[in-house]
Amino acid sequence: MSALDTEAPAWETSKENAAPRKKGRDVAKLNRAFGAAPDDDAAIRHHEAALSTEGDDPLQAFTTYAAYLEQHRPTDALAAFELRERCCRAFRDDERYKNDARYVQMWLDYADNLQDPDDLFKFMKKKKVGLQSAAFWCAWALRSEERGHVKNAAELYKKGLEKGALPTEMLTAKQAAFEARAVDRERNPPPPRPRPRGLTAQRPSRAPTQQPQSTPAASGTTPALEIFVDEGLRPVTAPVDDWPDFGSLRERAKENTRGPTPWTEAALSAPKTSAPTLASAAPPAFDVFVDDDCVAAPAPAPDAPTTLRD
């Protein structure tokens, strides 16, 4: 019984190469993508050409291109992500799309792929994108809840309802579910996170040395610094400047990422004298049978660098 008798479909034989997608994938498109020779360069070029920021409804070109990339390039999750980034940044100041469902969904899909979307949500709020959309508030509250900021999540649901975000049923349903989960969490609290070992060690605490009060008479030439003391301890909200751009992931993380170095400059460590190098390797314990046609062809003169011969 040969396994090749019943040939599995193309999507099954390459099922691990398709990035998981929330809405699922179309089988026919998957088969085509994993098929013999997917020739979609023309389609990609066509889509790229259609992208622009002018026109009647330029957002439509972006959404169709993103959908196309997701379905027809299942392995390459990065392409769709970068396209969404471009789209979000291109239209961030565009008034007509501020509460457009497709545009808000574009932002939320972008946030789904970020590790830390809190800043992104705050940026969206500042730019007033999606404030009337229940999906925005629900997504923000869900991410906050998952990180453990339960109070923040509760406030977000309330704020969403205040702003009159639509559809309201979605907000109320998600809020009810959130409250049920909060009750559950109180009943079975999760195990506490272990604290780092070094910080809990008992050490004799040294009392801070008291600085002698400098009398105004002794300071002489320089007057002591006057600090305004607020009796009521009211928070003073300073006006926050405008936040012009969120920036692409690559720009924001460019100092945290390490680019590749050329191979020849990147030796790992000094070679151990005991470890066998290529040239000094002892022949194997068994004799390898050499094929006739491999013996007949003369071995090409090795042009390896001199270091290999050491």
Which residues in 49-78 contact other proteins (CB under 8 A)? 75-78
HSE at residue 61, side-chain half, CA atoms within 13 A, is 20
Q: Does 199 bind other proteins (CB under 8 A)?
A: no
Q: Should residue 291 be labelled a site residue for other proteins when binding is judged by CB under 8 A?
A: yes
Residues 210-239 that bind other proteins (CB under 8 A): none
**Which residue from 54, 162, 184, 186 is in contact with other proteins, where contact means CB under 8 A?**
184
83, 249 in Cβ contact below 8 A?
A: no
State which of positions 98-117 bind other proteins (CB under 8 A).
112-115
Cβ atoms 182, 150 nearer than 8 A: yes
Q: Pick from 212, 220, 223, 262: which binds other proteins (CB under 8 A)?
A: 262
**Cβ partners under 8 Å of residue 175, min gap 6:** 157, 161
Q: Are 9 and 28 in contact (CB under 8 A)?
A: no
Q: Of 135-174, which residues contact other proteins (CB under 8 A)?
A: 143, 146
Give the closest residue to 246 by CA, choosing from 105, 144, 80, 114. Answer: 114
> Site size for other proteins, by CB under 8 A?
81
Q: Can you give the three-state secondary structure of 67-106, one letter per residue?
A: HHHHHHCCCCHHHHHHHHHHHHHHCCCCHHHCCCHHHHHH
**Nearest approach, Cβ of 95 to other proteins (angstroms)?**
30
Which residue in 10, 14, 94, 99 binds other proteins (CB under 8 A)?
Answer: 14
Interface positions, 22-51, toward other proteins (CB under 8 A): 22
**Out of 36, 49, 217, 268, which residue is the one contacting other proteins (CB under 8 A)?**
268
Q: Name the segment binding other proteins (CB under 8 A); options: 9-17, 64-72, 161-169, 234-242.
A: 9-17
CB of 219 to other proteins, least distance (A): 47
Nearest Cα to 67, choosing from 39, 17, 29? 29
Would you say 71 and 29 are in contact if contact means Cβ atoms under 8 Å apart? yes
